[in-house]
Amino acid sequence: MTVEKGAWDALRSVSETRLVDLFKAEPDRLSRLSFDECGLHFDFSKTHLSTALVDRFSELAEACGFAAKRDALFAGAVVNLSESRPAEHPAERGQGAPESVARARNFHGRMRAMIDAIEAEVLGPIRHILHVGIGGSALGPDLLVDALGRDSDRYEVAVVSNVDGAALDEVFRRFDPQATLLVIASKTFTTTETMMNARSVLTWMDEDNVDDPYSRVVALTAAPEKAVEWGIDETRILPFAESVGGRYSLWSSIGFPAALALGWDAFEHLLEGAAAMDRHFRFTAPQANIPLIAAFVDQYYSRLRAAETRAVFAYDERLRLLPDYLQQLEMESNGKSVKTDGSPVDGQTAAITWGGVGTDAQHAVFQLLHQGTRLVPVEFVAAIEPDHVLDDSHHRALLINCFAQGAALMAGKANDDPARAYAGDRPSTTILLDRLDAARLGALLAFYEHRTFANAVLMGINPFDQFGVELGKEIARSIESEGTERFDASTRALIARGLG
Ligand code: F6P
């Protein structure tokens, strides 16, 4: 028996206790399972993590070589084994191998110079930023601008990812081609959707007689040579390192539209907030290590209690894109079936991440959370300080609802009528930001990145590759280039009906 298998067996032997009973049995539970870091408060006490479970999970982490793997991540060692490269997103925040940190600083310097040039109208009078990219080249910047840029009158930013022409069409109706900067974000600079959208934006500019549309383009990429081949002048390419994964790239030049819209200081605060969370993750012992504790919760529910999903509800309009962002981060990273050595994973890997915005979600999906048959661990994310001009009653109502849901899920309520009874014992985690600003958002997103990494270590998988997305792309390409003969009857019929 391997040490890891022994650790899992020990975990399975810990008896299940109802949440309300855990509070009775462990009087110090709230203080042991609540943590404050980087302006964020984390409360894991309404999950089933008991003292015994935290101890057993810490043993599992040790058996999996967690500390050494975390050190390897920060040292810039090759942790993405299938692609033989490091995962150097922490270096973007100044936490990594010195040469990688220096390279990231240099690239950030180029971003900053480009922002200065745009502000000085070197590329013409720019009011609109049209960012085209997809997946990790869109979700992060979109979240940042939506969360932090609502009051910003610096530029109007649109992030377009979908190849569906309706997405660009909507932006073309409100943007002025003469005042638009096209930002093409693609790590590989080969992604079909992004390249097609970028070409259509250039055509739109050309049709409006924009003088030299290519001079209105900035490229964000880890493949600068491809951007040059595509026709973009070297001086308008903002590179980032190949070792920064797409879904971990918002800290690199991929964050350019956010840095432009929010200002460079805000972008630096974002990096500093993330760096503070990096230090916490790097130097804190397992029992108090917040991303690792969150991973214990994830592993407990998905592996030991067979939960298929985890739901994230942002009780803050500004974080409405957080569930979308987390879907890629968690599911593209850990939605795998094999371990780093190629052997099958024993048990489930990443839960299906989904979610929404409170209080809207309460009136749509919370019925299932309270009374459905499925176990769904819930995460609430809220900010103590509001950021709107309406009176306090709105924010009070928002937070009261958030806290009430967690209490109701846990306590439940008996009723003689089964249709009106609430079983309770349904787990939730609450993350409370003291306010939503760049530093705290940086810390929050770095927390999620490290939690994803910690989950991967506990499961023995590589969170930094994503071969699962390739087959569909390959087939789509072959439909265009090779015709349809080799497909099954259903696919052939759909192609004939849909494409004529
Ligand atoms: O198809 C998945 C993916 O490769 C993601 O991992 C990535 O974030 C996205 O596509 C976009 O890739 P690129 O930045 O190279 O255009």
Closest approach atom of ligand 1 to CA 136: 8
Which segments of 307-466 are extended strands (E)?
309-315, 352-357, 378-383, 428-433
Residues in the chain: 500
If one residue of 191, 326, 464 were mutated to test the ligand 1 pocket, choosing by the most ligand atoms within 8 A of its CB, it would be 191
| Centre of ligand 1 from the C-alpha of residue 322, in Å | 18
Q: Which residue has the tokens 């894109």?
A: 321
Beta bridge partners of 131: 159, 183
Q: Which residues are within 8 A (CB) of 257 and not within 5 positions of it... i.e. 6 or more apart?
A: 129, 131, 141, 145, 157, 159, 183
Q: Which residue has the tokens 């993590």?
A: 49
Distance CA 266, CA 106 (A): 18
| Centre of ligand 1 from the C-alpha of residue 469, in Å | 9
Q: Whose CA is nearest to atom 10 of ligand 1?
A: 135
473 is catalytic: yes
If one residue of 248, 469, 477 were mutated to test the ligand 1 pocket, choosing by the most ligand atoms within 8 A of its CB, it would be 469
Where do the domains of the chain lie, and which CATH numbers do they carry?
3-83+276-465 (3.40.50.10490), 97-262 (3.40.50.10490), 470-499 (no CATH)
**352 three-state secondary structure:** strand
Question: CB within 6 Å of ligand 1 — which residues?
Answer: 134-137, 186-188, 191, 194, 246-247, 332, 466, 469
Closest approach atom of ligand 1 to CA 137: 14
| Centre of ligand 1 from the C-alpha of residue 65, in Å | 30
Side chain identity at residue 122, one-letter code: V
Catalytic pick from 99, 229, 473, 482? Answer: 473
Catalytic pick from 88, 156, 332, 379? Answer: 332
| 245, 137 Cβ separation under 8 angstroms | no
395 is catalytic: no
Per-residue pLDDT of the chain (500 residues; tens, 9 = 90+): 688 889 999 999 888 999 999 999 999 999 999 999 999 999 999 999 999 999 999 999 999 999 999 999 999 999 999 999 999 999 999 999 999 999 999 999 999 999 999 999 887 789 999 999 999 999 999 999 999 998 778 899 999 999 999 999 999 999 999 999 999 999 999 999 999 999 999 999 999 999 999 999 999 999 999 999 999 999 999 999 999 999 999 999 999 999 999 999 999 999 999 999 999 999 999 999 999 999 999 999 999 999 999 999 999 999 999 999 999 999 999 999 999 999 999 899 999 999 999 999 999 999 999 999 999 999 999 999 998 889 899 999 999 999 999 999 999 999 999 999 999 999 999 999 999 999 999 999 999 999 999 999 999 999 999 999 999 998 988 888 888 888 999 999 999 999 98
363 is catalytic: yes
Q: Which residues are within 8 A (CB) of 71 and not within 5 positions of it... i.e. 6 or more apart?
A: none
| 175, 158 Cβ separation under 8 angstroms | yes
The dihedrals phi and psi of 98, each to the nearest 5 degrees, come to -50, -40
User: What is the DSSP pairing of strand 237-239 with strand 156-160?
Assistant: unpaired
| 68, 77 Cβ separation under 8 angstroms | no
